[in-house]
Structure 1
Amino acid sequence: MGNTLPNPHDTLFKALLEDPERAGALLRESLPKALTDKMSGDPLPVDGSFINENLRGTHSDRLFQVALQDGRTA
């Protein structure tokens, strides 16, 4: 009867962001055009986290790296 997922929105966004092509589409739709115009290719997932160990059960983050048109990465 009830929702069995503790954080359904987190689960949805994690699933969307696991695929670099979908993550790229989501980021391009969400970020300002001035930033997305500088991106070259799709963002790639990076291991790591900024979430405090005590909060990991309730919060999550996804880190990405993307090549920029000038050869740098962000």
Structure 2
Amino acid sequence: MGEINNPHDAFFKYAFGDKEITKDFIKYYLPKQVTKELDLETLKEEKGSYIDEQLKGLYSDLLFKVKDKDKKDNYIYKKLLHNFC
């Protein structure tokens, strides 16, 4: 088995690849006044997306799209630092 270069990055990408884990994380860590406005059943990962193109070589993003109660798109992201250790 090959060496994992960024074990923290790999862990977060694996864990947040599970929609239920991501929904639970959002419910727990975002303020209630925010989560009550979101329809977490519409949550989906936006693959290959980056918030800041200038930092693309150093960071990768976990980007999720979710609709609010008015059916408007909202984005939630987690920035992951490459070579974290």
Q: What is the TM-score when the length of structure 1 is the normalising length?
A: 0.73
CA positional deviation for 1:53 = 3.6
Corresponding position of 1:32: 31
Ranges in structure 2 where 5+ consecutive residues have no aligned partner: 75-85
Q: Look up the match of 2:40.
A: 41
Distance 1:16 1:70, change over 3 A: same
Instruction: Say whether residues 1:22 and 2:8 are aligned partners.
Output: no
Q: Secondary structure in 1 aligned to 2:25?
A: helix
Contiguous gaps of at least 5 residues in structure 1: none
Greater helix proportion: 1
Q: Deviation at 1:62?
A: 0.5
Q: Give the drift of 1:36.
A: 0.5
Q: How far apart, in 1, do the equivalents of 2:37 and 2:56 lie? A: 34
Q: 2:7, 2:21 → 1: CA distance?
A: 18
Report how far residue 33 of structure 1 moved: 0.8
2:50, 2:56 within 8 Å by CA — same for their partners in 1? no
Task: Provide the secondary structure at the position in 2 that maps to 1:50.
Answer: coil
Equivalent pairs: percent with the same residue?
28
CA RMSD of aligned residues (A): 1.8
> If each structure's strand is expressed as a fraction of its own residues, which one has the higher value?
2
Provide TM-score, normalisation by structure 2. Answer: 0.65
Tell me how many residue pairs correspond in the alignment.
68
